[in-house]
C-alpha cells in the first residue's frame, strides 16, 4: 500500500521530470506508423469520396470542408448548423459541427470516414515531425534495433500538470504508443493506470458519506457504484451492463455541471444535489460567480489556483468543479512517482536502476533495469493507493520493452516476486477525511430585509436556501444603516470571507474587515413575505 500525503512540491516534481532519461523511439516502428497513417488516410478518403458521389448523385466529388458544407446545405441542413461563435464564415469544426452532425445520424457513411481521415492526417503530421527532427541522436541497441533519443522541455500547466515541449509524448496517438521503447535491452518500461481515478477522487471529495461508502466500497467498478447510488432499489445489474457506457460518459460530465438533459444526466444531477458537500460547493460557486471576480481555489492538499472570472455562470461552475478533481489527480500522480522511487532507493537502488521515464496525463511511466526485479514486490505493494478518509484507489502496473506492449516473461517474474513477498507490504491506519476542506473561501448568500414590527426595527436574513435564518434587533432607523448593523451582527455570528445579499434598496460592493460584501437590489414579494413571517415569529418570542 502506498500512502499519499502532501510531501513534495511541484518544483521538486518538475526537477525530477527534467532530469529523467531521454525518451527512446524505435526508428523502424516510427516509419511504419507514418506509412500506416498514409494508408489509412488514402483508404478513408476513397470511402468518403465514393459515398459522397453516391449520396449527391455525382454532383459532389471533393472531400473538403467547403464542399461538404455545400453538400449538406443542399441536403437540407440549416446554415445555423455551421455557425460557430467567434467564426465569421461557415465552419466545419470537428467538435462543434461534424461530431454533432454524426450524433444526429446525418450521412454517417460520409462523416465517419471523413473524421477518420482527418484524425490520421493529424497523427501523420505529428509523427512526421518526430522523424524529421534533426537534433536527435540515433543509436543501435545490442539487439540491432535503431532507436532515436529525444530530449525535451518540461513546463507546468494548470492543475499541477506537466507539459512536454519538443516531444509531445502526451500527443503520441494511443494506437502508435509502441513506438516508445527502451534505449537498450537491459532496461524495461513500467507503466501505470489508475482505473476510474477522476470519478473515484470526485466521489471521495464531494459525495462520500458513511452510508453510500458501503455501496461504493462493495463493488470494483466505480461506475456500477454510481449507478447503484443513483438507481437505489431500482438498480438492475443486467440493465446497468447495457447502459454502462452512458454512466462512463456522463457521471463525471454531470459532476462537472454538464447542461445536458438526457435522462441519465437528470438522475445523476439529482443524486449529486442530494449530497450535502456537493450541493454546498455548487451553491458556493453559484454565489461566488455573482461577484464577477477571480476567485481562489485550493486543492485538498493546499495548492492554490485562481478561477478566472467568467461571464457565463455555467462555465464558472464547471471550472470550479473540475479544478479540485484534476489537481487532486495530479497530487496523486506526483506522490506516486516519488513514493515508488523512494521505496526502491531506500533499498539501495539508484537512478541508474529505476527512474521516472515520463508522465502522460495521469499515467506515470518508469524505466528500470532488470536488476530491480528481485524487489519487484514494491510494485505489488504500491498497487493500492491509500489516502486518509478515501475509499482505496487501485493502481495497475504493466511491464514491457515497448510502451503499451506487455512482456509476458517480465510480468510473470514480477507477479512471482509479489506473491513471495506479500508479508513485506505496507498497511496504514485510516485517520479519516479532513472534513474542514472547502476549495473556495467561505461564503454565505441569500436575501435580507429591514422591517419595523410594533415600533421595533429588525434586520432579517434568509441564507443558504433557508438553511440559515436570522433576525436581529437593531437600533438604526434608516434602511441602509439598519442593514449595515444587521450585517455586522451576522458576521459576528458567522465570520465569512464573502457575503452576497439581495435586498430591496441597496446595491454596493464593500469590504468589512476580512469580508467582501456584495449587495444587490433584487427581490420578490414572496421573499419579503417570508422575511415578514420570520420577524413576526422572532418578535413574539422576544415578547414572551
Band of pLDDT at residue 293, cut at 50, 70 and 90: very high
pLDDT in tens, 128-151: 999 998 888 899 999 999 999 999
Beta-carbon neighbour count of residue 38 at 10 Å? 14
Asked if 229 contacts 216 with a C-beta cutoff of 8 angstroms, the reply is: yes
Q: pLDDT at residue 105 above 70?
A: yes
pLDDT one-digit tens code per residue, 390-445: 988 999 999 999 999 999 999 999 999 999 999 999 999 888 878 789 999 999 99
Cell output for 540: 413574539
| pLDDT surpassing 90 at residue 171 | no
> Residue 268: its pLDDT value, please?
94
Nearest Cα to 231, choosing from 257, 241, 202?
241
Q: Kindly state the average pLDDT of the residues 304-324.
A: 94
3-state secondary structure 166-202: CCCHHHCCHHHHHHEECCCCCEEEEEEECCCHHHHHH
- pLDDT tens per residue, range 331-374: 999 999 999 999 999 999 999 999 999 999 889 999 999 999 99
pLDDT tens for each residue of 197-206: 999 999 999 9
Q: Which fold has domain 2-12+186-196+329-424?
A: Alpha-Beta Plaits (3.30.70)
Task: Inform me whether the pLDDT recorded for 544 exceeds 70.
Answer: no
Residue 436's pLDDT is: 85
How far apart, in whole angstroms, are the C-alpha atoms of residue 420 and residue 440?
47
**DSSP character string of 498-517:** EEEEEESS--EEEEETTEEE
Residue 216 has pLDDT above 80, yes or no: yes
Cell of 324: 479540485
What pLDDT is recorded for position 175? 93
Which whole number is the average pLDDT over 149-165? 92
Read off the pLDDT of each residue in 230-245 and give the average, rounded to a whole number.
92
Task: Give the C-alpha separation, 23 to 191, whole Å.
Answer: 14
Q: How far apart are CA 395 and CA 340, in angstroms?
A: 12
For the CA atoms of 458, 464, 465, 471, the dihedral, rounded to the nearest 10 degrees, stands at -10
Distance CA 474, CA 458 (A): 6
Does residue 409 contact residue 185 with C-beta atoms inside 8 Å? no
- Helix (H) / strand (E) element for 31: namely helix 27-55
Contact partners, residue 441, CB within 8 Å, separation at least 6: 295, 296, 497, 498
**What is the phi-psi region of residue 164: left when phi exceeds 0, alpha when psi lies from -120 to 50, beta otherwise?**
beta
Mean pLDDT across the chain? 94
CATH of the domain spanning 443-543, picked from 3.40.190.10, 1.10.20.10, 3.50.40.10, 3.30.420.10: 3.30.420.10
Residue 531 has pLDDT above 80, yes or no: yes
Distance CA 162, CA 155 (A): 6
Q: For residue 43, name the pLDDT band (cuts at 50, 70, 90).
A: very high
Three-state DSSP at 311 gives coil
Count of CB atoms within 10 A of residue 69's CB? 19
What is the C-alpha to C-alpha distance for residues 358 and 305, in angstroms, rounded to an integer?
A: 24
Phi, psi of 332 (to 5 degrees): -60, -45
Q: What percent of the chain has pLDDT over 70?
A: 100
Cell 518540461 belongs to which residue?
154
User: 275-279 long-range CB contacts below 8 Å, 24 or more apart?
Assistant: 275/206, 275/207, 275/209, 275/212, 276/209, 277/205, 277/206, 277/207, 278/206, 278/207
Indicate if the pLDDT at residue 524 is higher than 90: no
pLDDT confidence band for 492 (50 / 70 / 90): very high
State the cell numbers at 150: 529525444
Q: Where is average pLDDT lowest: 143-147, 187-191, 213-217?
A: 213-217
Domain ranges of the chain: 2-12+186-196+329-424, 23-150, 198-321, 443-543
Other CB atoms within a 10 A radius of the CB of residue 89 amount to 10
Number of Cβ atoms within 10 Å of the Cβ of 242: 10
Rg of the chain on CA atoms, in Å = 29
- The pTM is what? 0.90
* Range list of β-strands (E), 206-329: 295-298, 304-307
Amino acid at each position: 500500500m502506498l500512502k499519499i500525503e502532501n510531501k513534495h512540491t511541484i518544483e521538486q516534481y518538475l526537477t525530477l521530470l527534467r532530469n529523467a532519461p531521454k525518451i527512446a523511439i524505435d526508428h523502424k516502428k516510427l516509419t511504419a506508423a507514418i506509412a500506416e497513417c498514409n494508408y489509412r488516410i488514402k483508404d478513408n478518403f476513397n470511402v468518403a469520396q465514393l459515398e459522397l458521389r453516391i449520396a449527391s448523385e455525382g454532383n459532389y466529388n471533393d472531400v473538403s470542408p467547403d464542399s461538404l458544407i455545400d453538400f449538406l446545405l443542399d441536403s437540407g441542413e440549416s446554415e445555423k448548423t455551421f455557425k460557430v461563435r467567434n467564426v465569421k464564415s461557415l465552419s466545419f469544426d470537428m467538435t462543434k459541427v461534424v461530431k454533432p452532425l454524426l450524433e444526429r445520424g446525418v450521412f454517417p457513411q460520409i462523416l465517419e470516414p471523413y473524421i477518420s481521415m482527418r484524425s490520421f492526417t493529424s497523427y501523420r503530421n505529428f509523427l512526421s515531425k518526430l522523424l524529421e527532427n534533426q537534433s536527435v541522436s540515433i543509436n543501435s541497441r545490442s539487439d540491432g534495433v535503431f532507436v532515436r533519443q529525444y530530449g525535451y522541455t518540461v513546463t507546468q500547466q494548470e492543475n499541477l500538470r506537466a507539459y512536454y515541449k519538443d516531444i509531445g509524448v502526451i500527443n503520441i496517438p494511443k494506437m502508435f504508443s509502441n513506438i516508445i521503447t527502451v534505449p537498450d535491452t537491459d532496461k524495461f518500461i513500467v507503466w501505470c493506470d489508475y482505473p476510474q481515478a477522476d470519478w473515484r477522487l470526485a466521489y471521495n471529495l464531494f459525495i462520500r458519506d458513511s452510508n453510500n461508502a458501503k455501496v461504493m466500497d462493495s463493488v470494483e467498478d466505480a461506475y456500477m457504484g454510481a449507478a447503484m447510488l443513483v438507481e437505489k432499489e431500482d438498480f438492475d445489474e443486467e440493465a446497468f451492463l447495457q447502459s454502462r457506457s452512458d454512466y462512463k460518459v456522463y457521471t463525471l460530465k454531470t459532476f462537472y455541471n454538464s447542461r445536458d438533459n438526457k435522462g441519465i444526466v437528470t438522475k445523476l444531477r439529482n443524486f449529486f444535489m442530494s449530497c450535502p458537500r456537493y450541493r454546498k460547493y455548487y451553491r458556493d460557486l453559484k454565489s461566488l460567480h455573482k461577484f464577477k471576480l477571480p476567485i481562489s481555489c485550493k486543492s485538498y492538499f493546499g495548492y492554490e489556483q485562481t478561477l478566472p472570472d467568467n461571464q457565463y455562470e455555467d462555465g464558472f461552475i464547471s471550472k470550479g468543479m473540475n479544478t479540485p478533481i484534476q489537481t487532486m489527480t495530479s497530487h496523486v500522480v506526483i506522490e506516486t512517482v516519488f513514493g515508488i522511487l523512494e521505496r526502491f532507493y531506500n533499498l539501495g537502488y539508484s537512478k541508474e536502476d529505476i527512474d521516472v521515464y515520463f508522465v502522460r496525463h495521469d499515467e506515470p511511466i518508469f524505466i528500470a533495469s532488470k536488476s530491480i526485479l528481485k524487489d519487484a514486490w514494491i510494485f505489488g505493494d504500491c498497487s493500492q493507493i491509500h489516502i486518509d478518509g478515501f475509499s482505496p484507489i487501485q493502481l495497475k502496473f504493466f511491464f514491457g520493452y515497448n510502451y503499451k506492449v506487455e512482456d509476458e516473461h517480465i510480468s510473470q517474474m514480477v507477479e512471482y516476486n509479489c506473491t513471495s513477498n506479500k508479508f513485506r507490504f505496507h498497511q496504514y491506519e485510516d485517520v479519516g477525511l479532513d472534513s474542514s476542506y472547502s476549495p473556495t473561501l467561505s461564503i454565505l448568500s441569500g436575501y435580507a430585509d429591514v422591517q419595523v414590527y410594533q415600533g421595533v426595527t429588525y434586520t432579517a436574513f434568509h441564507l443558504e436556501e433557508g438553511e440559515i435564518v436570522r433576525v436581529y434587533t437593531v437600533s438604526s432607523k434608516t434602511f441602509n444603516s439598519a442593514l449595515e448593523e444587521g450585517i455586522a451582527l451576522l458576521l459576528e455570528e458567522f465570520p465569512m470571507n464573502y457575503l452576497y445579499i439581495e435586498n430591496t434598496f441597496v446595491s454596493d460592493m464593500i469590504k468589512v474587515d476580512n469580508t467582501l460584501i456584495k449587495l444587490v437590489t433584487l427581490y420578490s414579494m414572496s421573499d419579503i413575505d417570508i422575511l415578514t413571517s420570520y420577524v413576526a415569529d422572532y418578535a413574539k418570542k422576544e415578547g414572551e
